[in-house]
Structure 1
Amino acid sequence: MGAPAAGGGGRRRLLVETAFVLGVLLKGLDGLVELVAGAALLVLHQDRILALTRAAVAEELREDPHDLVANLLLDQAAGLDHGAAVAGGLFLLLHGVVKVVIVAALLAGSRRVYPWAVGALSVLLAVQVVQLVLSPGVVALVLLDAVILALTWHEWRIGRSFHDAWRSVVRGWFPRT
C-alpha cells in the first residue's frame, strides 16, 4: 500500500489518520500527566501542593498578573482540603489508568480494543461534560476527547488498526523518493 494520492480523498484520509494518531498519542500523554497529578494529590500535603502550584505559575503571573488559567490554578490549590485532594487524586488516577490502558492497547495493534475505547472515552466525555457545567475550565479537554472519540469510532468502523493508521501517516507525510 503506497502513500495516499495527492487528491482530495487521499489528502482528507491522511489528515483524518494524522489527527487520529496524534490524538491517541496526546491522550496517552494526558493519561500519564493525570497519573502523576493524581499520585501527587494523594501523597503531598496541601501546603506543598500550593507551593508547587505557585512555583509553576510564577513566571506566567509575572508576565500577566491577570492570567486566567494561572489564577484559577492558584485558587484551586489554595482552596484544596484533604478530602478534595483525595477525591481529586483518585479521580485523576482512574482517568489516567483508563487512558493509558486504552492507548497501550491501541499501540499494541489490537482492533478489539476499539469498542472498549469508544465506550470508555464516552464515559469519560460524559463525566467531563458534567464537569464543564460545573467548571467552564474543562472546555479544551472535553473538545479534545470528543474529537478523539469521533476519530476512534471512525477508524474502528473502517477496520483499521492504530498501526495501519500510523504507517499510512508516515508514508503520507514522508513518502519515499
Structure 2
Amino acid sequence: MKSSLLDRTFQISLILKGIDGLLEIFGGVLLLAVTPGQIGAVVRALTLHELAEDPTDLIAGALVHSAGALTMSASLLAAVYLLAHGLVKVVLVWAVLRDHLWAFPWMIAFLLLFIALQTYRIWGSFTWAHLALTLFDAFVAWLTWHEYRVHRKRRRRLSPTKPSRPPRRL
C-alpha cells in the first residue's frame, strides 16, 4: 500500500512537472513572439482597474514597473531560458515516465541544480512561491531517487545473471 501511494504520488508529481515544462515552452515561444512594449501595454491594461482602485497596490505596481523596465535582450534571455528549461524538463519527464533508467539520474541532477539556483534566489529575495517551488522540487528529487532505486533493484532481479569467468591461470 505504501509503495503504491508513493508510486501514484511520483506519477502525479512527474505529470505536474511535465505540465510546468510545457507551460515554460509556451511562455518562451510567447516571449519570442511579443515585444517588451506589447508586454508593457498588456500589463498596464490588466492592472489599470486595480491601480485606479488602489494606486499603492504593491503587486500591480511591481508588475507595471517590471514590465516597463523589460528590455529586448532581457526578454530574449528569458525566452531562451524558458525554452531550454521547459524542453529539458519535458524530455526528462517523458523518459522517466517511460522507465528509461538513464533519465532518473539526469532528472535528479537537473532538479538539484534548480534547487540550488532557487535557494540562491530565496536568499536574495524571499518569496513563499519560491520556497514552495523549491520544496516541491526537493520532494520530486527524493521521489525520483526512491523510484530509481526500486527500478534498479527490479531490473537486477529480472535480468539473467551473467556467468562469471573462472580466473585465468598463468
TM-score (norm 1): 0.69
Counterpart of 2:137 in 1: which secondary structure?
Answer: helix
Which amino acid in 1 is paired with 2:113?
V
Task: Give the aligned partner of residue 79 of structure 2.
Answer: 89
CA distance in 2, matches of 1:150, 1:70: 36
Question: Looking at both structures, which has the greater relative contact order when contacts are Cα pairs under 8 Å and sequence separation is at least 6?
Answer: 1
CA distance in 1, matches of 2:114, 2:89: 9
Q: Which stretch of structure 1 is more off in the superposition, 147-156 or 128-137?
A: 128-137
Task: Give the aligned partner of residue 106 of structure 1.
Answer: 96
Task: Kindly provide the CA deviation profile for residues 30-62 of structure 1, in whole angstroms up to 9, marking residues without a partner as x.
Answer: 101111112222231112122344566679x49
CA distance in 1, matches of 2:97, 2:70: 36
Task: Give the aligned partner of residue 27 of structure 2.
Answer: 37
Structure 2: runs of 5 or more not aligned: 153-170
Measured after TM superposition, the shift of residue 69 of structure 1 is 5.6
Measured after TM superposition, the shift of residue 87 of structure 1 is 1.5
- Among 122, 135, 140, the alignment partner of 1:143 is 135
Q: Structure 1 residues 115, 75: closer, same or farther in 2, change over 3 A? A: same
Conserved? CA contact 1:27–1:103, under 8 Å: yes
Conserved? CA contact 1:31–1:99, under 8 Å: yes
Task: Kindly provide the CA deviation profile for residues 2-55 of structure 1, in whole angstroms up to 9, marking residues without a partner as x.
Answer: xxxxxxxx2x33332222111100000110111111222223111212234456
Q: Structure 1 residues 124, 78: closer, same or farther in 2, change over 3 A? A: same
- Among 35, 47, 56, the alignment partner of 2:37 is 47
TM-score (norm 2): 0.72
CA distance in 2, matches of 1:150, 1:67: 39
CA distance in 1, matches of 2:5, 2:65: 39
Q: How many residues align?
A: 148
Which amino acid in 2 is paired with 1:40?
L
Task: Give the aligned partner of residue 126 of structure 1.
Answer: 116
CA distance in 2, matches of 1:58, 1:13: 51
Conserved? CA contact 1:95–1:124, under 8 Å: no
Measured after TM superposition, the shift of residue 81 of structure 1 is 1.4
Task: Give the aligned partner of residue 153 of structure 1.
Answer: 145
CA distance in 2, matches of 1:100, 1:128: 19
Percent pairwise identity:
35
- Compute the RMSD of aligned alpha carbons: 2.7
Which amino acid in 2 is paired with 1:134?
G
Structure 1: runs of 5 or more not aligned: 1-9, 161-177
Is 1:23 matched up with 2:13?
Answer: yes
Which amino acid in 2 is paired with 1:150?
W
